[in-house]
Structure 1
Amino acid sequence: MRLFHVSDLHFGQEDREALDWFAGEVAEEKPDAVICTGDLTMRGTRREFAAAREWLKGLGVPMLVEPGNHDMPYYYNPIGRLLWPYRHYDALRAELSSELTFPDVEIVSLRTITRFQFRLDQSKGHVGGDRLEAALARVSLHMAKPLCLVACHHPLIEADTHSKASTHGGKRALAALARAGADAVLSGHVHDAFDKVVEIDGHAIRMIGAGTLSERVRTTAPGYNRLSWSGEDGLVVEPRSLT
């Protein structure tokens, strides 16, 4: 089984060379699915979402698309941000994205963005109780499968990267997911890849982050993660970068 994990496309400030390279990788290897962990756009505009929709549709494979903090109306549109923050994302997801479930692998959504937080930096992560409970219920429902992955935008705890997620409720959520039987959490946001095992409350869970396919690089080149799963080798993660 092969999955491609990509994040932070940032249409509006996308890297066209990186996007073409990734699309070529998909066409050549034909993964079972693509998981995109948010920030499809730069400012959440209709035009940016239309460009993201066209590109994602062209990949021609099943996909799960999570929202990122850049996928809500930007701060200069406070009314739109408060009243209909997910309008463009929800339309895209209804057309292109679906729950990904396979005989041996389950991928569970966990939304880590919110329209408003009581702190200055609204770009950081937030895990609400209702969203966490919904994710935990789905993990528990499929706990008999050998592999359960959770997909969200923000790393639930810091992963020693240049950028920070500062996710409110993230440590609690990671511990709850580990207790429920989730094997790994896939995320983006920080624009650098990472892969680490965290011991929390007596349980081990893996945190896997993808880089970016935009011009907004941090310390590494644009890239994505190639995930493969088998009963013999388990989950193998190969970061790939445009060099």
Structure 2
Amino acid sequence: MKKFISFLSRIFILLTALELTSCGYGALELFHHGDFVDERADQMKELYQGRVGPTFASLSGTYTFVIFTDPHYGSKRSENIDEDEFLEWLDGLPSDQSPKFCVCLGDIAERGERKEFLKYCDFVEKIESRGIPVLNIVGNHDLFNSGWDDFSDLCFPYTSFYRFKSSAFSYYALDTGSGSLGPKQFKKLKSAMQSDPRPKIVFSHYPIYGSGMYGLSYYCLQNEEESTRVITLFEKEGVTDVYAGHVHHHQSKELGDYTERCFDTLFNQEWALVTVNEATGKTSTKTIRK
């Protein structure tokens, strides 16, 4: 049965690739995503301050941040994004729930084209005008048509593998845009986490959990052994939450002491408000659906 599901997964990916190749997504990137992850994520960048707003290290007590994912600017679906509704929701939050930052979990651009990233940047500018920095995770669509060049030029923090720290938590952003961490990124991630005693929150485009959606490997890390290694690392090193996109629907999975949550897309008017309590090391996640 497992081999049959794996076979169906390969057929699904092949048919999807053939369809997307005819739609201007870039033939090479469909399989290799333009740039290899070992080249993009050869170093983990340490962040100390957002483009606007307070330094991350000053975050303490109880605070919130916002997650949204998969806007796919440039696609027909992105026309359903109601930016004004999102901004009105943001402005309507009580002062004690006003987010300290936002995170986009990837697939910013539909075809990896610069004009698509620029349209997203217009939206980001509206958020950041409210004093809320927006951090970005690279997705597989962002790499189509050599989109990495524009992602790394336009999308803060202009890299794909990074970490920042609040008073008590550590936040890790992973590059899974190619469906894999790759050996270099995993080695550096493991070393960083093993020397970091703080509770940890992880952001990724692809879900880590190995079963994926409908049992298809396209919807999770492509290598089951790698997925198992990452899950084991997270269980050992104090990860409390993993937040992912890519699957275009809401799902959550308890994995040992942490929970992996995936969200529906921004064009389906879904996002999440995460509350962090630095004193207790606990988080709570509220899904917003408009």
TM-score when scaled to structure 1? Answer: 0.77
Post-superposition shift, 1:11? 0.5
Bigger shift: residues 228-237 or 42-51:
228-237
Distance 1:94 1:35 in 2: 10
When you count helix as a share of all residues, which structure comes out higher? Answer: 2
Counterpart of 1:48? Answer: 116
Q: 1:28 to 1:132 in 2, by over 3 A?
A: farther
- Map 1:132-211 → 2, pairs under 5 A: 132-143=186-197, 145=198, 147-158=199-210, 161=213, 165-167=219-221, 168=223, 169-199=226-256, 204-211=257-264
Q: Which amino acid aligns with 2:136?
A: V
Of 106, 109, 120, which aligns to 1:38? 106
Could you say what secondary structure the match of 1:151 adopts? strand
Query: CA RMSD, aligned part only?
Result: 2.4
Is the contact made by 1:40 and 1:52 (CA closer than 8 Å) also made in structure 2?
Answer: yes
| 4+ long deviations beyond 4 Å | 94-99, 158-164
Q: Which amino acid aligns with 1:241?
A: R
- Map 1:1-243 → 2, pairs under 5 A: 1-13=63-75, 14-29=78-93, 30-60=98-128, 61-74=132-145, 81=146, 85-94=147-156, 99-114=163-178, 125-143=179-197, 145=198, 147-158=199-210, 161=213, 165-167=219-221, 168=223, 169-199=226-256, 204-214=257-267, 221-230=268-277, 231-232=279-280, 234-242=282-290
Q: 1:17 to 1:10 in 2, by over 3 A?
A: closer
Q: 1:138-181 deviations in whole A, cap 9, x for unaligned?
A: 333432x3x31111100011577468514122222122222222
Is the contact made by 1:18 and 1:223 (CA closer than 8 Å) also made in structure 2?
Answer: no
Counterpart of 2:57? Answer: none
Could you say what secondary structure the match of 2:82 adopts? helix
Distance 2:249 2:150 in 1: 26
Is the contact made by 1:159 and 1:194 (CA closer than 8 Å) also made in structure 2?
Answer: no
Post-superposition shift, 1:240? 0.9
Q: 1:114-143 deviations in whole A, cap 9, x for unaligned?
A: 3xxxxxxxxxx2221211222233333432
Q: 1:56 to 1:64 in 2, by over 3 A?
A: same
Q: Which amino acid aligns with 2:74?
A: G
The number of equivalent residue pairs is 211
Where do 5+ consecutive residues of structure 1 fail to align?
75-80, 115-124, 215-220
Counterpart of 2:39? Answer: none
Counterpart of 1:217? Answer: none
Q: Which amino acid aligns with 2:168?
A: D
Distance 2:112 2:64 in 1: 30
Distance 1:49 1:172 in 2: 33
Could you say what secondary structure the match of 1:73 adopts? helix
Distance 1:186 1:142 in 2: 19
Is the contact made by 1:63 and 1:100 (CA closer than 8 Å) also made in structure 2?
Answer: no
Distance 1:133 1:109 in 2: 15
Q: 1:237 to 1:15 in 2, by over 3 A?
A: farther
Counterpart of 2:34? Answer: none
Q: 1:83-118 deviations in whole A, cap 9, x for unaligned?
A: xx510110123567885421122210111123xxxx
Q: 1:16 to 1:174 in 2, by over 3 A?
A: same
Where do 5+ consecutive residues of structure 2 fail to align?
1-62
